[in-house]
Amino acid sequence: MIEFSIADMLRGLILAGRWTLALSAIAFVCGGLVALLLLVIRVGRVQWAARAVALYIEVFQGTPLLMQLFLVFFGLPLLGLEVSPWVAAAVCLTLYTSAYLTEIWRGCVDAIPHGQWEASSSLAMRYGEQLRHVILPQALRIAIAPTVGFSVQVVKSTALASIIGFNELTKTGTMLTNATFQPFTVYGLVALLYFAACYPLSLWARHLERKLHAAN
């Protein structure tokens, strides 16, 4: 057994936490960009494309993220494509995030009264102009709380990347536990750091909700 002080453990976990936050940021930003594209297709008038996006969402919502990680990390090498734990985790979490954000945002768009579509259409706006100038700005107010709330879920989901060897917060906690045989202390610190990362996001969501009057 190796002797570590609580300060030593915390220092090591904070260093690993940087990779957790980096992976979360990549997944959320890239997933959001993909989700925005999918949203436009999902609520569009091309039925076969909308159905394809709906199938994409069902696949990622209907299968465990852990299985998706395994398929990418262990499956792609069978096809001759070697991927690192970092790449596999980033790709899987991006696709996972995009599927959920697309559906969250679709619900926000559907919450806009249909009269807004009709009014903008009467002004001779094209579909893209309707979304950009009329529908999406209103949907944004509704979407803030669930979007930021889901970002908390993304941060916590990065813990699954430890299964494929990605050295983030949970993986480092496991290694420290194996070295110190102090699981309660180590995982208590891990939980504290996850809380420290997620709680400010919840506060920010409430602040933005009040600022934009999302509840009204």
Residue ranges per domain, the chain? 9-211
Residue with tokens 């909700």: 209
- Whole-prediction pTM: 0.88
pLDDT at 205 over 80: no
pLDDT tens digits for range 85-107: 999 999 999 999 999 999 999 98
Side-chain half-sphere CA neighbours of 122 within 13 A: 6
Q: What CA dihedral angle connects 148, 29, 21 and 100, to 10 degrees?
A: 50
pLDDT at residue 214 in the model: 44
The string over 59-80, giving b where at least 16 C-beta atoms fall within 10 Å of a residue's C-beta and e elsewhere, is ebeeeebeebbeebbeeeeeee
CA 185 to chain centre: 28
pLDDT at residue 23 in the model: 94
Please tell me whether residue 2 adopts helix, strand or coil conformation. coil
What is the rounded end-to-end Cα distance, in angstroms, of the chain?
57
The CATH architecture that domain 9-211 belongs to is Orthogonal Bundle (1.10)
pLDDT tens digits for range 186-204: 999 999 999 999 888 888 8
Q: What does the DSSP assignment read for 43-93? A: TSS-HHHHHHHHHHHHHHHSS-HHHHHHIIIIIGGGGT----HHHHHHHHH
| Nearest residue to 156 via CA among 24, 3, 1, 12 | 24
pLDDT tens digits for range 126-184: 777 778 778 888 888 888 888 888 999 999 999 999 988 888 899 999 999 988 888 89
